[in-house]
Amino acid sequence: MAILSSAGSFDTCLQHCPELYQSFRDFQEQIWAQPYIPVDLLELCRLRIAQLHNSASDLSVRSIYTLAPSYADVKSLEQKIALLSHYQREDLFTPGEIASLQLAELFVIDPSCITDELADDVITHYGDAGYVALLEALGHFDGCGRFKLQLGCGPATEALGYVASDSITNCNARAVNDSVIINRPAATKVSVPRVQAETSNTGSMVRDSALNLVPTTLETFLAFYQQLWHNPYLRAAELEVARLRNAALVNCTFCKATRFDLAVDDGLQEAEASAALAGTAETGRLLWIIRITEAFLNYGKPLSDEDHHSIEKEFSVAELVTLVTGLSLFMSFSKFAVAMGGLPEELPVMKLPVPA
């Protein structure tokens, strides 16, 4: 069940926060425009993630980027979409597509289960920058899908780059009745980064990371992230509680150790940060933020109808849209970090500026 009783389309929901809406559009455009992963493969990954979410909203639309004049093989894509729920058993899919779809599945379920062999397979087909670009896209698709499910949004419209498609609706039935069994390897710690960044010395841990292999996406991500943290609806200390609870659930050691300066300056106490990491807040808005975060990541007890009513009384629509937009970005970034490998077992608490 969704939190909002009348969310409208994805576009309508995001437009409760106009600044975030525009930043979202800019970031999404670069996800599709990057030159490393073909748009048809991005669309297959988006739809496979929608199948895992069992999201009728995402399965009912097609990206306009796959319909652009520069993309001609629409018939082949349609054939693959019809077979997507059991792609591993079909000769129509290339080895690179199969590896990418396997990566998408594990990214959604648990990125710590991504093996070196699978990562190397994707990198062999699409390069280091392609691996980064694909992970960014998977985070975007996973986050958007969870956003719609949690707030109860309808499909995105053409204003956000999607058009209705009957063929994808048919794909939804196959996802429920004919899905492949996903091979889920054991979780593992990867001590060495799977991809090396371009040489850079900006002093920013984000700009100097492998994210700099896809610079246009990095710039729009950072602009989006800054807009989120300087939003007029939700306090930075409250956003930090959501970010830290997400970090604990995804188990990103860097994210767990970080305390953003805006949140600390806004009054976040270390006891509150520790409670967020442990999920132990007892009452008030911080408890609801933790519960919403856990529901976003499908952890613990689902939110009940009574919980939804209480949340709607406690938070404005703009606050909820801001919070769940934040969760989409926090989850994407932390899963990306885990999938990249090279995270230490433990880090000391660090007060850092919000990446810009």
Q: Rounded distance, CA 278 to CA 249, Å?
A: 9
- Range of lowest pLDDT (55-64, 159-168, 223-232): 159-168
Reference 316, options 17, 2, 12, 11; nearest CA is: 17
Q: What are the residue ranges of CATH 1.20.1290.10 in the chain? A: 30-177, 210-352
pLDDT of residue 201: 85
pLDDT above 70 (res 174):
no
pLDDT of residue 200: 84
71 — pLDDT class (breaks 50, 70, 90): low
Could you name the CATH architecture of 210-352? Up-down Bundle (1.20)
Q: How much is the average pLDDT of 273-293?
A: 93
Q: How much is the average pLDDT of 218-230?
A: 98
Q: Say if residues 164 and 155 touch (Cβ distance below 8 Å).
A: yes
If 0-12 CB within 10 Å is exposed, 13-18 middle and 19+ buried, where does residue 351 land? exposed
Q: Say if residues 84 and 68 touch (Cβ distance below 8 Å).
A: no
Q: How much is the average pLDDT of 99-118?
A: 96
pLDDT above 80 (res 282):
no
pLDDT of residue 75: 74
pLDDT of residue 90: 87
User: What pTM was estimated for this model as a whole?
Assistant: 0.94
Q: Say if residues 3 and 320 touch (Cβ distance below 8 Å).
A: yes
pLDDT of residue 239: 98
- Fold classification of 30-177 is AhpD-like (1.20.1290)
Q: Rounded distance, CA 75 to CA 181, Å?
A: 27
If 0-12 CB within 10 Å is exposed, 13-18 middle and 19+ buried, where does residue 348 land? exposed
As a whole number, the mean pLDDT across the chain is 91
Q: How much is the average pLDDT of 131-150?
A: 97
Look up residue 141 and give its two tokens.
């698709």
Spell out the alpha helix ranges (H) of the chain.
10-14, 18-33, 39-53, 56-59, 74-82, 95-109, 116-151, 166-177, 215-229, 236-250, 253-257, 261-265, 270-278, 284-296, 305-314, 317-340
178 — pLDDT class (breaks 50, 70, 90): very low
pLDDT of residue 219: 97
pLDDT of residue 109: 96
54 — pLDDT class (breaks 50, 70, 90): very high
Half-sphere exposure of 231 (CA within 13 A, CB side): 28
Q: Rounded distance, CA 50 to CA 185, Å?
A: 21
- Termini Cα distance of the chain: 36
If 0-12 CB within 10 Å is exposed, 13-18 middle and 19+ buried, where does residue 285 land? middle
Q: How much is the average pLDDT of 199-205?
A: 86
Segment 155-166, tens digit of pLDDT: 999 889 999 987
- Range of lowest pLDDT (23-37, 114-128, 296-310): 296-310
Look up residue 198 and give its two tokens.
């371009």
